Amino acid sequence: MTDPRYPIGKFHFEGLPSEYQRKALINDIEQAPAALRAAVKDLSPQPEDRWARLADTQSTPIDVSLALLESLHTRWVRLLRSLTPDDWKKGFRHPVLGLVPLEKNLAIYAWHGKHHVAHVTELRKKMGW
C-alpha cells in the first residue's frame, strides 16, 4: 500500500460491466457489511479519535451502525438484483460528477465497501490491533 488513503487503490472504471461482472459487483455489495463487521471485531470504541468524538458515536454501540449497514445493503441488493437489462442502461445526475450510469455507480459502490473495510484492516495491521 503506497497511499494510506486508498488501501486498495483509487477507483478505476474499466467500462460497462458484463452481466456476470454486474452479478459479482452486487455480490461484493452484499458481502461488504459482513466484511466490515469482521474487520472491526474486538476493536474498542476508541480506535478512530475523530469518529469517537461525535456525540452520537459516544452514546451508540457500533452494532447499531453495523445493523443499519446490513439492512441498507439487504435492500440495495434486492433492488439491484431486480433490475432489468433496460434498467441498467439508465443513469442519474450527480451534483458534482454529472451524469452517472447505474452500472458505473454499481462499480463505485462495490469498490467503496472494499475501500472502507481495507481502511480498518490496514490500520489494524499497522497498529498491531
- All domains of the chain, ordered by start, with CATH? 33-127 (1.20.120.450)
Q: Are 80 and 29 in contact (CB under 8 A)?
A: yes
Q: What is the CA radius of gyration of the chain?
A: 16
Q: What is the pLDDT of residues 106-122, one digit of tens each?
A: 999 999 999 999 999 99
Distance between CA atoms of residues 49 and 36, nearest Å: 18
Grid cell listed for 74: 439487504
Name the pTM for this structure: 0.89
Q: What is the pLDDT of residues 34-51, one digit of tens each?
A: 999 999 999 876 676 666
